[in-house]
Amino acid sequence: MSLVQITENTCRTSRHTTFYLSAGPKDGAPIVFLHGWPELSLSWRHQLPVFGALGFRAIAPDLRGHGRSSLYDQHDAYAQREIVADMLELLDSLGARRAIWVGHDWGAPVVWNIASHHPDRCLAVAGLNLPYRTFEFGLEAVVPLVNRETYPENEYPYGNWEYMRFYEENFEKAAQAMGANPEATIKALFRAGNPAVRGKPTALSQVRRDGGWFGGKAAAPDLPRDERLLSEADLAAYVSAYTRTGFFGTDSLYMNHKANAVYAAEAVNGGYLDMPVLFLGAEHDYTCDTVTAPLAEPMRAFARNLTERRVPSGHWMAQECPVHVNAHLTAWLATHVRDAWPFAEGT
Predicted confidence pLDDT, tens digits, the chain (347 residues): 446 899 999 999 999 999 999 999 999 999 999 999 999 999 999 999 999 999 999 999 999 999 999 999 999 999 999 999 999 999 999 999 999 999 999 999 999 999 999 999 999 999 999 999 999 999 999 999 999 999 999 999 999 999 999 999 999 999 999 999 999 999 999 999 999 888 899 999 999 999 999 999 999 999 999 999 999 999 999 999 999 999 999 999 999 999 999 999 999 999 999 999 999 999 999 999 999 999 999 999 999 999 999 999 999 999 999 999 999 999 999 999 998 888 654 43
Number of residues in the chain = 347
Closest listed residue to residue 308, CA positions, set 110, 128, 136, 112: 128
Phi, psi for residue 192 in degrees, rounded to 5: -70, 160
The whole-angstrom separation of Cα 299 and Cα 115 is 13
Distances (CA, A) of 60 to 15, 100, 225: 20, 12, 24
pLDDT computed for residue 3 by the predictor: 63
Phi, psi for residue 37 in degrees, rounded to 5: -95, 140
pLDDT computed for residue 343 by the predictor: 66
C-beta of residue 344 within 8 angstroms of C-beta of residue 338: yes
The whole-angstrom separation of Cα 53 and Cα 4 is 6
CATH 3.40.30.10, applies to 7-340? no
pTM above 0.75, yes or no: yes
The whole-angstrom separation of Cα 238 and Cα 178 is 13
The alpha carbon of residue 300 and the mean position of all alpha carbons in its chain are separated, in whole angstroms, by: 19
Give the start-to-end residue ranges of the domains of the chain: 7-340
The whole-angstrom separation of Cα 289 and Cα 253 is 20
The whole-angstrom separation of Cα 46 and Cα 49 is 7
pLDDT computed for residue 344 by the predictor: 52
- Residue 112 CB partners (closer than 8 Å, separation 6+): 103, 125, 127, 132, 133, 136
C-beta of residue 114 within 8 angstroms of C-beta of residue 46: no
Run of H or E including 34: strand 30-34
The alpha carbon of residue 140 and the mean position of all alpha carbons in its chain are separated, in whole angstroms, by: 19
Strands (E), 44-137: 57-61, 99-104, 122-128
C-beta of residue 23 within 8 angstroms of C-beta of residue 48: yes
